[in-house]
């Protein structure tokens, strides 16, 4: 069994003004990402809410896999896992179902379909409560589809021409391309230029697998084995572990 970290004592003695944001390229709940999740929940409520909405279109066994993986990571951290399975907008507007979000130290939106995730939770009671919890000190993270959903836009790079979908906008100035080390050689610079024209006030950022941006919504630090990439049309600025990215 891995080292267990208990944040209960720290939470009782620390008052936090606002939460942190984690934008993760891949690897939610894996041991390799433990330090990222530790950074996000450390000193906060020991309640770890996990929302697998993006994967609810997958098979029951696949959904169960994500739930079990999340529980294992919470146990490594020494915090309480609280999975909330939201499948549709009706459930996203159910006050009883989403109540644990307000008490969470960390809320994590895991991967799957970014379109389904956004269409399910955008402009619902869930997103309202999530924003309020963040303002009150809850950290919020998203991995892959979850990271895409948290931004101003979710860049649909699989479509030609690329199709932009508005995200829930917790991070207003960013659009995330996850799994970037796997996909960047398959995406032409013309597509990136097209995206940049559609989002003149938004920074398009690629995040490699098992890599995260962790910050306050304006300035982010890179954590993990890979790098983040600030995409400016033909130019890509590489930002690696310990370095910072500031949104304009």
Return mean pLDDT, the chain. Answer: 89
pLDDT for 42 beyond 70: yes
pLDDT for 224 beyond 70: yes
* In the chain, where the domains are located: 8-246
Res. 158 pLDDT band, cuts 50 70 90: low
Position 141 scores a pLDDT of 99
Position 212 scores a pLDDT of 98
Q: Average pLDDT for residues 13-24, to the nearest whole number?
A: 76
Q: Average pLDDT for residues 74-81, to the nearest whole number?
A: 99
Position 14 scores a pLDDT of 41
Of 63-67, 101-105, 176-180, 229-233, the poorest mean pLDDT is in 229-233
Closest by CA position to 53, among listed 94, 21, 105, 19? 94
Report the CATH architecture of 8-246.
Answer: 3-Layer(aba) Sandwich (3.40)
Q: d(Cα 42, Cα 39) in Å, to the nearest integer?
A: 5
Closest by CA position to 84, among listed 124, 126, 42? 126
Q: Average pLDDT for residues 182-211, to the nearest whole number?
A: 77
What's the order of all strands across the beta sheet hosting 244-246?
80-83, 47-51, 106-109, 139-143, 21-24, 211-215, 219-224, 244-246
Position 201 scores a pLDDT of 79
Residue 242, token pair as written in the block: 């310990």
Residue 244: what are its φ and ψ, rounded to 5°? -120, 150
Q: Name the percent of the chain in helix, strand, coil, to the closest 5.
A: 40, 25, 35
Kindly tell me the sign of the dihedral angle through the C-alpha atoms of 133, 50, 126, 97: negative
CA Rg, the chain, in Å?
A: 17
- Quickly tell me which residue has 């433990």 as its tokens: 34
Number of alpha carbons in the 13 Å side-chain half-sphere of residue 160: 5
28-32, 158-162, 182-186: range with highest mean pLDDT:
28-32
Of all helices (H) and strands (E), which one includes residue 199?
Answer: none
Q: Average pLDDT for residues 214-222, to the nearest whole number?
A: 96
Res. 130 pLDDT band, cuts 50 70 90: very high
pLDDT for 125 beyond 60: yes
Position 15 scores a pLDDT of 42
Read off the pLDDT of residues 170-179 as tens digits, 9 standing for 90 and up: 998 899 999 9
Kindly tell me the sign of the dihedral angle through the C-alpha atoms of 60, 29, 38, 109: negative
Res. 159 pLDDT band, cuts 50 70 90: low
Whole-structure pTM value = 0.89
Higher pLDDT, 202 or 170: 170
Position 57 scores a pLDDT of 97
Q: Average pLDDT for residues 131-154, to the nearest whole number?
A: 97
Position 1 scores a pLDDT of 35
């Amino acid at each position: 069994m891995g080292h267990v970290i208990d944040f209960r004592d720290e939470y009782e003695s620390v008052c936090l003004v606002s939460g942190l944001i984690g934008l993760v390229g891949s690897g939610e709940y894996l041991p390799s990402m433990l330090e990222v999740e530790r950074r996000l929940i450390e000193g906060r409520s020991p309640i770890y809410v996990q929302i697998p909405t993006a994967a609810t279109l997958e098979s029951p066994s696949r959904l169960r896999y994500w739930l079990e993986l999340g529980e294992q990571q919470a146990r490594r951290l020494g915090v309480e896992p609280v999975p909330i399975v939201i499948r549709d907008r009706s459930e996203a507007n159910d006050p009883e179902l989403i109540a644990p979000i307000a008490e969470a130290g960390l809320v994590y939106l895991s991967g799957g379909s970014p379109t389904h995730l956004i269409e399910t939770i955008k402009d619902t009671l869930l997103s309202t409560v999530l924003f309020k919890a963040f303002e009150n000190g809850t950290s919020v993270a998203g991995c892959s589809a979850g990271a895409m959903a948290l931004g101003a836009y979710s860049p649909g790079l699989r479509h030609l021409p690329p199709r932009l979908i508005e995200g829930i906008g917790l991070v207003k100035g960013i659009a995330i391309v996850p799994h970037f080390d796997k996909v960047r050689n398959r995406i032409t610079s013309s597509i990136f230029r097209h995206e940049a024209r559609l989002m003149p006030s938004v920074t398009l950022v690629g995040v490699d697998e098992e890599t995260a941006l962790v910050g306050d919504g304006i300035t982010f630090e890179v954590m993990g084995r890979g790098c983040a990439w600030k995409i400016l049309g033909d130019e890509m600025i590489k930002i690696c572990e310990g370095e910072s990215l500031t949104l304009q």
